[in-house]
Chains A and B, each alone.
Chain A
Amino acid sequence: MATDETVNATAYREVVGRFELPTTVDDLRRSGTGDSLLPAIEVDDLRVYYDSEAGVVKAVDGVSFTLQQGERLALVGESGCGKTTLGMALLKLTKPPGYIDGGQILLDGRDLVPFDEESMRLARLAEVALVTQSAMNALNPVMRIEDQIFDGLVDHGIKDTKENMRSHVHDLLRRVGLRESVGRMYPHELSGGMKQRVAIATGTSMNPKVIVADEPTSALDVVVQRQVMMTLSRVQRDTGAAVILIGHDMGLVAQFADRIGVMYAGKLVDIGTVQQIIEEPKHPYTRLLINSVPDLEEKRERLEGIPGIPPPLVDLPPGCVFAPRCPSVEDACLEISPRDVDIGDKRRVMCHLFDHEVEMAGSEVG
């Protein structure tokens, strides 16, 4: 860990004490989004590295973005681009040999990076929650659904009567479109879609400010996928939480998110609104990615993928990481790493084509 001081649990309680930790179900019902002036989460120059025999793998390399409260951001990219590593790092669930090398994760104005494990454990669920790819594996097969949800609440300091707790769980289940009786069931009695909804109910049981959803529907069929995404959508609106959706299905992302961040080789290379990214992709990688998605509009003569494969993340060559596969590559790309350029309209692109200070023949600025 590259930080000098860590925040321990007592200190965490003191810091958070200002916002009053919820202790009863009534508190929970009143809680929700934090200080409305601050962004829900602000990530600044976050770096997550892995030590390997071949060298340091820079899985997430200097990623910055800001997510306002109630906003939905989708992170997309090919497998191995670092999107899941980034998602896990936001909850500080990075496992060795991985570590957070530096940067800041400001949640409601407080930096999570220096938090020790105990404070982080308290912050998870209560402030930042995770909905994973396979809820099937997240549920305990020998515990009733409601007991599993109680567990999380009790562990995070909620003390209340059994009735109040149960009524809270019923509210949560209804919110995700499940019957109250599901609370008394065991995981094997539920279908995949229902289990994923239980995972959403559990994840939102303490009204977190940020929900990280890592490919929440990739194990589900399209019909169920749509139902689960609509559920997540409604819960998000009800709780006012910000959502970070990690996925690779551009269609799904377009239907759900407000903004899209495109990742390539550990870097956030393009970020903008759904409309900006899909209708006017800027970064050459984004263009190819959008272009490779088949649609139902017309039959294409040729289906085109992105040529080449992503580079190994050890010992990256100088210059732009996408240069070897880029159709618009020029000399400068092989030498200088592109900067994160703000091109207006809250749009950022990491490409020399949009940078005033780099001479490019195919430049799209000025």
Chain B
Amino acid sequence: MKLANLLELQNVTKVFGGGLFNRSNVTVAVDHVSFAITSDRPTITAVAGESGSGKTTLSRLLLGVIKPTTGSVIYEDQDVSMLSGSARRNFRREVQPIFQDPFEVYNPFYKADHLLHVAIEKFGLAGSRDERIHLIREALETVGLRPDEMLGRYPHQLSGGQRQRMMVARALLLKPRIILADEPVSMVDASLRATILESIRTLNRDLGISVVYVTHDLTTAYQICDDILVMYKGSVVEQGSVEQVIRDPKHPYTQLLVESIPQMRTDQAWEEGAEEMMSIDDSGETTGCKFADRCPQVMEKCHSEHPPGFATDNDRVAACYLYDDMPIANRATIAT
């Protein structure tokens, strides 16, 4: 049975650099990645990885702001790079971004709510001024802001948390079906982090909006997400439900990541010895598994052949030869 997918990546690769005469200096930012967001129910999917893992490139591909080198991004059975006219406009409204830096998105010369007015104007959401104000107030209240404290203020008069929640409100105004949040809380304080993540979760639970949460923080991913994709140097190394992937990671890289999370506990201290010398050669140019050089369980095969995804459990895939007794998963059928 094939589930209907809202947004889907089909075997997408994105290569930067290079060119006609310089084949050597290329960066494969996203390497044959497939995954889908179902339209059956609203989900929250985490895309997790270190810096340089390709997670931001992946989110820009999903937004349609860059085109894949090979493969395609499909939104409601249509290729995003082929969209034109009203279909493209529709896509732009229904897939909304929330960016990392709540300082850079505002123009300091305009009042902060200018951003909300523009969104309404561009998409013609309100017929009258009163209606526009009403929409704005409603959106601000949904994300837990008091409109009277927000309206008419300049960006510098708002705190980082307020600015970021206003961005959530902006996304919300457009009644999107998907919100793509790229590290939305990495620039705010821990105490505010919880508040903003809670408002994102509200959008998902109460308004039925699917969320793609791009992050390097597995703890918050575990708290708010249903599913997770773990990326390493452009490839998805493991994907599945957060319960499975974070509580019981299969891929050695995911295991290393989870082990490295500093937990606020006094009974579980980090053990020494995990401190191996890091490889300086970071080119990632290998025909085999990209993690092979750092992998504690590396086998000969890992250096020569790129591992396919093995279905280690129901709905969980790990791209690692440790699980080669399991069937190879067809990733396109795994809707997250």
B-contacting residues of A (Cβ < 8 Å)?
78-79, 177-179, 189-191, 193-194, 221-227, 229-231, 233-234, 248-252, 254-255, 274-275, 278-279, 288-290, 292-296, 299-300, 302-306, 309
B223 at interface (Cβ–Cβ under 8 A)? yes
* Interchain CB contact under 8 A, A254 and B262: yes
Instruction: List the one stretch of B76-84, B274-282, B315-323 in contact with chain A.
Output: B274-282
Q: Which B residues contact A (CB, under 8 angstroms)?
A: 50-51, 159, 161, 189-198, 201, 216, 218-220, 222-224, 246-247, 256-266, 269-270, 272, 274-278, 280, 282
Which residue in A79, A230, A290, A300 is a CB contact (below 8 Å) of B189? Answer: A79
**Interchain CA distance A248-B264 in the complex, whole Å:** 12
Q: Chain A residues with Cβ under 8 A from B198's Cβ?
A: 302-305
Closest to B196 in A: A305
* Interfacial chain A residues near B278, Cβ < 8 Å: 191, 193-194, 224, 227
Task: Find B191's partner among A191, A234, A292, A300 (CB 8 Å cutoff).
Answer: A292
Q: Are A299 and B161 in contact (CB under 8 A)?
A: no
Cβ–Cβ contact A294 & B191, under 8 A: no
A278 contact set on B, CB distance < 8 A: 264-266
Which of A179, A226, A302, A306 has most B Cβ within 10 Å?
A: A226
Least CB separation from B262: chain A residue: A251
Residue of A189, A224, A248 near B280 (CB, 8 A) is A189
Given contacts A78-B191, A249-B190, A309-B159, contact A179 B277 (CB under 8 A): yes
Whether the Cβ atoms of B274 and A303 lie closer than 8 Å is: no
Structural contact, A306 and B266, CB atoms closer than 8 A: no
B260 surroundings in chain A (CB, below 8 A): 222-223, 225-226
Closest CB pairs A-B (n = 9): A251-B262, A305-B195, A221-B50, A305-B194, A306-B191, A303-B194, A252-B262, A226-B260, A222-B260
Contacts A223-B257, A255-B270, A305-B193 given: A300-B223 contact, CB under 8 Å? yes
Residue on A nearest B268 in the bound complex, by CB: A255
CB distance from B37 to the nearest CB of A (A): 21
Q: Across the interface, which residues of B come within 8 angstroms of A227, CB to CB?
A: 274-276, 278
* Least CB distance, B194 to chain A, in whole angstroms: 4
The smallest C-beta distance from B17 to any residue of chain A, in angstroms, reads 18
5 A-B residue pairings within 8 Å (CB atoms):
A78-B189, A179-B277, A191-B282, A295-B264, A296-B219
A226 adjacent to B274 (CB under 8 Å): yes
Residues of B within 8 A of A233 (CB): 272
Contact B266 A254 (CB under 8 A): yes
Residue of B nearest to A182 (CB): B280
**Would you call B272 and A251 a contact (CB within 8 A)?**
no
* Residue in chain A with minimal CB distance to B225: A299
Contact of B270 among A226, A275, A306 (CB under 8 A): A226
Contact for A250 among B190, B220, B247, CB less than 8 A: B190
State whether A255 touches B263 (Cβ < 8 A): yes
**B259 — nearest CB in chain A belongs to which residue?**
A226
Q: How far is the CA of A300 from the CA of B256 in the complex (A)?
A: 24
- Whether A275 lies near B223 (C-beta < 8 A) is no
Q: What residues on A are CB-neighbors of B246 within 8 Å? A: 296
Of the candidates A193, A231, A274, A293, the one whose C-beta lies within 8 Å of that of B190 is A293
Q: Is the CB of A222 within 8 A of B266?
A: no
* B261 pairs with A222, CB closer than 8 A: yes
Residues of A within 8 A of B280 (CB): 189-191, 194
Besides the known contacts A222-B257, A226-B262, 20 further A-B residue pairs in the complex with CB atoms under 8 A apart: A223-B256, A223-B260, A225-B260, A227-B276, A231-B275, A248-B189, A249-B262, A250-B190, A254-B262, A274-B266, A279-B266, A292-B190, A294-B219, A294-B223, A296-B218, A296-B219, A296-B247, A296-B261, A299-B223, A302-B198
Give every chain B residue within 8 A of A300 (Cβ-Cβ).
223
Q: How far, in angstroms, from A305 to B143 measured CA to CA in the complex?
A: 14
Partner of B264, one of A221, A222, A251: A251
Q: How far is the CB of A185 from chain B (nearest CB, A)?
A: 9
Chain B residues in 8 Å Cβ range of A249: 190, 262
A223 — nearest CB in chain B belongs to which residue? Answer: B260
* Chain A contacts for B266, CB-based, 8 A: 254, 274-275, 278-279
Q: Which residues of A contact B256 (CB under 8 A)?
A: 223
In the bound complex, CA of A229 to CA of B276 (Å): 13
Instruction: Give Cα A309 to B162, complex, Å.
Output: 10
B residues near A303, Cβ cutoff 8 Å: 194-195, 197-198, 201, 223-224
Contact B265 A254, beta carbon cutoff 8 Å = yes
- A309–B222 Cα gap in the complex (Å)? 26
Known contacts A189-B280, A221-B50, A294 near B263 by CB under 8 Å = no
What A residues does B193 contact at CB under 8 A?
292, 305
Contact B220 A222 (CB under 8 A): no
What A residues does B261 contact at CB under 8 A?
222, 251, 296
Give complex CA distance A278, B263 in Å: 11
Contacting residues, chain B, for A78 (C-beta < 8 A): 189-191
Chain A residues with Cβ below 8 Å from B192 are 305-306
CB distance from B176 to the nearest CB of A (A): 22
Minimum distance in angstroms from A201 CB to a CB of chain B? 15
- Residues of A within 8 Å of B257, CB to CB, are 222-223
Contact B247 A254 (CB under 8 A): no
State A191–B281 Cα separation when bound (angstroms).
10
Asked if B263 contacts A288 (CB within 8 A), the reply is: no
Residues of chain B within 8 A (CB-CB) of A279 are: 266
Chain B residues near A178 (CB-CB < 8 A)? 277
Q: Which residues of B contact A179 (CB under 8 A)?
A: 277
Q: Which residue of B lies closest to A222 (CB)?
A: B260
Which residue of B is nearest A190, CB measured?
A: B280
A311 to B50, CA, bound (A): 35
Q: How distant is the Cα of A87 from the Cα of B13 in the complex, in angstroms?
A: 46
Known interface pairs A230-B272, A254-B264, A274-B266; A289-B191 also in contact (CB < 8 Å): yes
| Nearest CB in chain B to that of A217: its residue | B262
Q: State the Cβ distance, A72 to closest chain B Cβ, in Å.
A: 13
Q: Is A254 in contact with B263, judged by CB distance below 8 angstroms?
A: yes
Q: A226-B274, A305-B198 are contacts. A251–B263 as well, Cβ < 8 Å?
A: yes
Contacts of B270 in A (CB 8 A): 226, 229-230, 255
Residues of B near A189 (CB, < 8 A) are 280
Contacts of A177 in B (CB 8 A): 275, 277
Chain A residues near B219 (CB-CB < 8 A): 251, 294-296
